[in-house]
Amino acid sequence: MPEGPSLYILKEQSARFIGQEIVHAGGNVRALDPQRLVGQRILKLHTWGKHFLIEMPDLVVRIHFLLFGTYRIDEDRDKVPRLSVKVADGGEMNFYACSVKEIDRATFEAYDFSADVMSETWDPKSARKKLRAEPGMLACDALLDQDIFSGVGNIIKNEVLFRIRVHPLSTVGALPAPKLRALVDEARQYSFDFLEWKKQWVLKQHWLAHAKTICPRCDIPFSKAKLGKTQRRSFYCERCQKRYE
DNA sequence: TGGAATGTTGGAAC
DNA sequence: CGTTCCAACATTCC
C-alpha cells in the first residue's frame, strides 16, 4: 500500500467524501476515540507523502499505512478496521492495519506540501537546496528522507537511482549539478509513472531494478545490499551506476 | 513454512 | 542531553 502514489489514488477515490457529515465512526484504534468524529463534517482530505489527513472542524486525523496498511471505500473486508467512517449519504471509508492519530492544529498547519513529490506545489528548487545543505548524505538515504522527498519509498528509490545511473552510496555533495537536478526531477517523474502503472495493475512488470537480479542494461548481476542509515534494500548495478564520492 | 518486505516510532542504550 | 540502535507493530507473499 505505501509510497506516495498509492496515497494519491486514495485521495482521488475518497474525494466525494469532502463536505459530507460523519454519522458513524468505529474501529479498534486506541490512540483516539472514534466517537469524536461523529457529527463532524469532512472539510478537506489531504495527502502529504505517505500521510492521509482528514480535516474536520474540531480535529485533524492522520492515517499512516506503514508497511501493511490497507483501505476500502464503500465496502469492508474480513478484518476489524482500525478506523471506520460512515457519512450521511451512506458512503463509508474503512482503514486497516494502519496508524491512526489525531494531530494538533499547529502540527497540521506546519505541513509543507511543497515537499511532497506528487504535489502540484512540489518545489524542486527547495529540494535541491536541502540536498546541498547535507553534502555528506548518501543518495540512498536522501531519497528516503521524507522532509526532502515526501512520498518516496524504497521502490521509487531503487528505480530513480537506476534511471539516473547513480550508485546508492554516492554522496549527495559529490553529485555534479546536472545529476543532482536529475535526482530531484526523477523522484517526481518516476512517482507519476508509478501512479499510472499502479492504476493499470502493471506496476511490478515495469520495475527495472527493484527486486531484480540482473541489470537490464548490461546483463551483469545486480548487487543487493542494505545500505545507508536506513538499512533498506538497495538493488543496483556496479557497472552502470556511477559512484560519486 | 519461515522469513522478509512498498515504513515509522518510541524507548533503551550509550 | 544528543545520537544511535533495535524491538515492536501487522499482513501478505513466496
pLDDT band at A94 (very low <50, low <70, confident <90, very high): very high
In whole angstroms, what is the distance from residue A38 CA to residue A35 CA?
A: 5
A11-54 pLDDT per residue, tens:
999 999 999 999 999 999 988 999 999 999 999 999 999 999 99
Please state, for a pLDDT cut of 90, what percent of chain A lies above it.
Answer: 92
What pLDDT, on a 0 to 100 scale, did the predictor assign at position A195?
A: 95
The separation, in Å, between residue A241 CA and nucleotide C1 C1' comes to 41
In whole angstroms, what is the distance from residue A225 CA to residue A100 CA?
A: 32
Report phi then psi at A76, rounded to 5: -130, -175
The separation, in Å, between residue A230 CA and nucleotide B14 C1' comes to 20
A144 CB below 7 A from strand B atoms: yes
The separation, in Å, between residue A96 CA and nucleotide C5 C1' comes to 29
Mean pLDDT over the full length of chain A? 94
Query: How far is the first Cα of chain A from the last one, in angstroms, to the nearest whole number?
Result: 34
A211 CB below 7 A from strand B atoms: yes
DSSP helix/strand/coil, A91? coil
What pLDDT, on a 0 to 100 scale, did the predictor assign at position A118?
A: 95
Q: Report the alpha-carbon angle A219-A223-A228, nearest 5.
A: 145
The beta-strand segments (E) located in A82-212 are 83-87, 92-96, 99-103
The pLDDT of A70-87, averaged and rounded, is 94
The pLDDT of A93-122, averaged and rounded, is 94
pLDDT of A1 higher than 90:
no
pLDDT of A194 higher than 90:
yes
A70 CB below 7 A from strand B atoms: no
Show the cell assigned to A140.
540512498
In whole angstroms, what is the distance from residue A243 CA to residue A196 CA?
A: 30
What pLDDT, on a 0 to 100 scale, did the predictor assign at position A126?
A: 96
Is the overall model pTM greater than 0.75, yes or no? yes
Nucleotides of C under 7 A from a protein CB: 4-5, 9-12
In whole angstroms, what is the distance from residue A227 CA to residue A122 CA?
A: 27
Decide: A151 and A111 in contact? Cβ < 8 Å: no
pLDDT of A2 higher than 90:
no
In the complex, which nucleotide's C1' lies nearest to the CA atom of residue A70?
C11
Helix (H) or strand (E) holding A181: helix A177-199
DSSP helix/strand/coil, A107? helix
Closest CA to A62 of A99, A96, A29, A95: A99
The pLDDT of A114-124, averaged and rounded, is 96
In whole angstroms, what is the distance from residue A26 CA to residue A97 CA?
A: 14
